[in-house]
Chain A
Amino acid sequence: MMQHLTSDTLIDYIHEELDATADAAALAHLQTCAECSAAYEAEARLNEALKTLPSAELPPMVKARIWEAVRNEQASPYARLIAFFRPAVAVPVAAALAVALYFVSPFAHRAPAGPTVDANYYLEQHAADEIGNPLGERSVSSTVLETSDAPGTAPSLGTGTAAAAALNAVE
């Protein structure tokens, strides 16, 4: 089951700005989800309507006044001091914050903190038990019509299965 497409995803989909995988996933979802399909239709209609509008141009006098105001804007002495030191202060502070976040936040790095179990173990143990089933996908007794045990595909485990092979092949 897939979650509903976000508004941003829909807009990117309409403008063909999604990568191939996300584009295919969005298309597949739209074909099965009436709610998102309706949102897509509405967004597409709005997009088409916007295209038909004449492009608006600001009057020349308005633009000139805006630029004059920008040029006359004077920064305060404090703001100028901050601006002077900004690179020297901001760079180390940003670096320190990044390091702190990396070690403190569980979301800052992908691998979970604390003890872990290799997810491949679950796939491999399941596949290993399936072999005992005569009509399972990986059965031995219903001939060698099995797809498991592709070698060398999970060298860290040394027991690579087709599942691991297939999933690794996506990398």
Chain B
Amino acid sequence: MPWSKAARAVTLGVALAAGASVAAHAAGTPSPAPKASATPAVSEEDQAARLLRASLRAPESISYVGQLQTIRFSTNKAVATIVRVEHLAPDRTRKWYMAPEAVYGDYTITRGITTYQVDIKHGKVFTSRNPSIENQVAASGSFGLVTKNYRPVLGDEETIAGHPTMSVLLINKYTGERAVRVWIDPRTALVLKKEQYRSNGAVAAQSRFEELRYTSAIPQDIFSTSVPAGYSKVAGRDYASPSTDLDRVRKDAGFAPVVPKYLPEGFSLTSGDVATVDGVKELHFFYSDGLRMLSLFENATGAAADFKKLKPQTIQFEGHDAQYVEDGPTTLLVWHEHGLYFALVGDLGLHDLVDIATSVVP
């Protein structure tokens, strides 16, 4: 049943305030109340933005168990994943993979910035550390970019996994294209469903809870990171820590980097890092418009990309023989010019990536 705008605003404000108490109850810990007003004068756009902002911090205070299904759509295929999730606020998560068959029974445990990936078929536990998980400065900045470049619009209500939700659609202010829609439980501010769209409106990826129960009664043993008997522990990749000190990053690179002269509207350079990969020093610039991300990698040591099991396709632009692979909304494009080897990764179409790559002129 459609609501009147005023009734919806009042209900949403009350719901957000109520959500704080539900959150505190579910997590068993005090939770900051999302700032929401019950005043009907607040515009729907503001209400949508508040709901969205509240959703960003929800996992820090909401504990739950559930089953999550994700489908990623490429040009002519789709890949689905079904995961059993136990999340204990603020930062412990276990995901048990039920599908596809290739990863059935494998699981991951995340504690803070460290993730343990248990591969039961090969009897191995991979560990990796990713500082970006707790990069709240970047998170805050990203939300600022979102509201700068996207217009949040309250949409229809929908019941997901037995919980009523309100949807928020984010529309690109420059192109008018819809980019992402999230369905948020207003009682807890938790996102229960998300759809990401391509520029032509097609769905690029969809995630949704099939089952969900709010509870903080999750045994600590679930998150045990002790290595099972007979398993070997393997050190995985420790991801580079993104830095906003871009001058420092440029110096660390040890060569004169090249940046694109063209970026889609709304994108800006947000961070960078330098890492040594397979013995090669790789410079990495990270661009974002708040929702979509773009990574530009460069090395000056003549190291080309080795696609191994990936099956790249070839494309030519500006006289370059480039290669690319696509996965859902993400595309990787590699090429080289004047001794510099470039890799561009982004949640953009190949056409957009080629336009950006063309503007990278050493």
Q: Which of A120, A121, A135, A159 has the most CB of B within 10 A?
A: A135
Secondary structure call for the A interface:
loop
Chain B nearest CB from A131 CB (Å) reads 5
Chain A residues with CB below 8 A from B329, complex form? 137
Chain B nearest CB from A109 CB (Å) reads 12
B55 touches which of A21, A130, A143 (Cβ 8 Å): A143
Chain B nearest CB from A162 CB (Å) reads 7
Q: Count A/B pairs, Cβ under 8 Å.
A: 264
By size class, the interface of chain A is 35 or more
Q: Which of B90-120 contact A (CB under 8 A)?
A: 93, 95, 97, 100, 102-103, 106-108, 110, 115, 117-120
CA A120 to CA B118, docked complex, whole Å: 19
CA A143 to CA B52, docked complex, whole Å: 12
Hey, which bits of chain B sit against chain A, CB under 8 A? 52, 55-60, 68, 70, 72, 74-77, 79, 81, 85, 87, 93, 95, 97, 100, 102-103, 106-108, 110, 115, 117-122, 124, 126-128, 130, 132-133, 135, 138-139, 142-143, 146, 170, 180, 182, 190-194, 196, 205, 207, 234-237, 239-240, 242, 271, 275, 277-280, 282, 284, 286, 288, 290-291, 293, 295, 297, 299, 301-312, 315-316, 325, 327-330, 332, 334, 341, 343, 345-347, 350-351, 354
Hey, which bits of chain A sit against chain B, CB under 8 A? 1, 3, 21, 24-25, 28, 111-112, 114-137, 140-147, 149-153, 155-160, 162-163, 165-171
Query: What are 14 A-B pairs at a CB distance below 8 A?
Result: A1-B351, A115-B301, A119-B312, A123-B332, A125-B295, A126-B295, A130-B293, A142-B55, A143-B59, A144-B93, A147-B207, A152-B106, A156-B308, A168-B102
